[in-house]
Chain A
Amino acid sequence: MTARTSPPKISFREVTRSFPVKGGTFTAVDRVSLDVGEREFVTIVGPSGCGKSTLLNLAAGLAEPTSGEVVVDGRRVTGPGPDRGMIFQQYALFPWLSVRRNVEFGLRVAGVGAAERRRRTDEAIDLVGLGDFADALPKTLSGGMKQRCAIARAYAVDPDVLLMDEPFGALDSLTRVQLQDQLLDTWRQQTRTVVFVTHDVEEAVYLAGRVVVMAARPGRVHQVIDIPLPYPRTEETRLSAEFAALRNQVWGAVHHQEAPAEPPAR
């Protein structure tokens, strides 16, 4: 899992992202270096304002680093592309399109032919179990279903990398657990590299092979903790002593960081 023989899939190299604010500069992430291996599942946790979402935006190409670079597959990221799918906390479904039309959006944009598009769309919709709701509008779906639709939309274009920005943060805890298991299932079926941002320590440990704990002001990598629990993970994993120990370790790393340097602006 963490033994990476091949070159990293995603490489953050001394990445800094800062922007001017009133009376100074706000540094969202400060000289972050981090490698994510091919097919690795990495979660990023940390207090709010630690720049975890910024890291995802940088990898997605939605934001540009002030200095340093993000490299995916050996190529420097200069903008968004369908090789890197992204899932947003607020689902970001196109509300005027049905589930099916949402899912096939990326394929249409890429000019995929009708038959092939139909096949891949159906496949993605089935994968997340929304087959009965293919023609429903997003407003009629529950939060969990919306997020499953968003996941299907990202899967349909078959990205190598999945960037997930607190995707289950707005869901109730039961739905969240369901979607976590579903995500791990689909990840094991069609393995891809996943970077998953969350503020939920339990979620971070349950999903990941490696947890990156960040610190705030300025956002930086605080600690990287390996999670040597075997997949598939189940309820048993969740209730095991090893899991509890790892959760406590990550919890400690998140909640007992040295006090941040006081003024948020540097």
Chain B
Amino acid sequence: MKAGQPPDMAAAAAEPPAGEAPHLAQRAGARRAGRRREAPRGDATRRRRRPPAPLLNVLSLAAGLAVWALVAAHGVGGLPGPAAVGRRAVDMLRDGTLEGDMLASVRRVLAGFALGTALAVLLGLLMGWYPVVRALCEPYVQFFRTIPPLALIPLAVVLMGIGETPKIFVIFLAAFLSSVVATLQGVVGVDRTLIDAARVLGARDSTVFLRVVIPAAAPFILVGMRIGLGSAWATVVAAELIAAQEGLGFRMQHAETYYDLDTIFVGLVAIGVLGLVMDRLLLLAERRLTRWQERR
């Protein structure tokens, strides 16, 4: 399979909340291409048409805030303005609730994501390499993929109580299911000639797997991890509806009963910012690890 395909594949495998991942990857690819010494044909023209992205990003953000403030000032739906939300955020930071909630949510996401992607990568690699493992596991993977992890919350609560376990389990499942298929595709799509080349150079199966298949599948694995992270974030809020004592989802749920829109907005923005930061960190890792890819 050609380099540069993982983002396309991500679009096919993406769960709705992670749908933006391929878009981000493409943008990053274009930026990278611009920095390269000998840019491939077509890139130059594409770059010329594109205005400076960071400037537009800032402008767009400012415009969004302005519209928000305007709408809020006209009292549409009792919407709080950015200033009110900002004040509430500062209050919540002062009394420590926001930090506590963020920490609780991040801890759950990270635990579920780490467990989920670790198992997904391991199983995806094995499924891609051993047809027997694939035949044994694929029915379950495909079946559970059709069940939204959130639908398992009632079951998780009954089986695991209302502590941290069911919350992390649901996040784990979301992250696992969305990245296992990407890893599998990555392994299955490894260029046959690369494997042949390694074998002709004397590599045995284990060496081919470690030195050729895993690095060749790495771009797919990393895209899978980013999708998994998206799914984990998408799941954490709902998971925190299960009798949580803290966490951004819990705080918003709690605020809802008091009609406290400011706090709900603080929660939303915090989730967005945290998700973005974590995605960027993964993107950074992805860039470092797949610098060798030819990008179109």
Contact = CB atoms under 8 A, between A and B. Distances in A.
Interface of A: 60, 62, 79-82, 84-86, 88, 90, 92-97, 105-106, 109-110, 137-140, 150, 153-154, 157
B194 A157 contact: no
Interface string B276-296: 000000000000001111100
B164 to A, nearest CB: 39
B196 A95 contact: no
A157 B201 CA distance: 7
Given A80-B199, A88-B197, A157-B201, A109 B292 contact: no
A97 B293 CA distance: 11
Given A137-B292, A140-B38, A94 B200 contact: no
Contacts of B212: 94
A85 B292 contact: no
Given A94-B215, A137-B292, A80 B200 contact: yes
Given A137-B292, A140-B37, A94 B194 contact: yes
Nearest to A139: B294
Given A139-B292, A140-B37, A92 B197 contact: yes
Interface residues of B, number: 25
B45 to A, nearest CB: 20
Contacts of A106: 201-202
A82 B199 CA distance: 8
A238 B125 CA distance: 51
A164 to B, nearest CB: 12
B255 interface: no
Interface in B198-223: 198-203, 207, 211-212, 215-216, 218
Contacts of A154: 201
Given A80-B199, A110-B202, A137-B291, 12 more contacts: A80-B196, A84-B200, A88-B193, A90-B193, A92-B197, A94-B198, A95-B292, A96-B216, A109-B203, A139-B292, A140-B38, A153-B201
A96 B222 CA distance: 15
B193 to A, nearest CB: 4
Interface string B173-213: 00000000000000000010110111111110001000110
B215 A109 contact: no
B242 to A, nearest CB: 43
A110 B196 CA distance: 16
